[in-house]
Amino acid sequence: MAQAIEEWYKQMPAITRSYLTASVVINIGCSLEIISPYNMYLNPTLVVKHYQFWRLVTIFLYFRKMDLDFMFHMFFLARYCKLLEENTFRGRTTDFLYMLLFGASVLTGIVLIGGMIPYLSASFARIIFLSNSLTFMMLTCPG
């Protein structure tokens, strides 16, 4: 059984394996209270004034609690990210990485711009992690 999981993991494409591993490590670290979610959430002031640029990455890695919802997101991430990388972007790993970076940039921009619009800012201010959104973006990509 352990060898089957190891083979499955080794056969994953590079970007998918990296994203899945980083997400699991971050969430386990937060569950064990090694890492604090308060050091990872989207806070434009801390990014710009205090140069905490890691927040622009960690908002896509943290899925909150380690529960059934987390397991479903990891399944979707592993399955659909792998399908995109192996089929739609076969032999074009860099293009797949650019697609993820573009999607992450658009999602971040929507949240930041939405936070500046009156009447909408209260709704957008509650969006501090975008990992679920990036996973759903991969689900809806044509492939």
Condensed to tens digits (0 to 9), the pLDDT of residues 61-91 reads: 999 888 888 998 898 888 888 888 888 888 8
Question: What mean pLDDT value characterizes the chain?
Answer: 87
Q: Which residue has the higher pLDDT, 133 or 141?
A: 133
Distance CA 59, CA 44 (A): 12
> Mean of the pLDDT values across residues 88-99?
90
Closest CA to 107 of 136, 67, 70: 136
SS3 115: coil
Domain ranges for the chain, please list them: 1-140
Q: What is the 3-state secondary structure (H, E, C) of 21-81?
A: HHHHHHHHHHHCCCCCHHHCCCCHHHHHHCCCCCHHHHCCCCCCCCCHHHHHHHHHHHHHH
pTM attached to this predicted model: 0.86
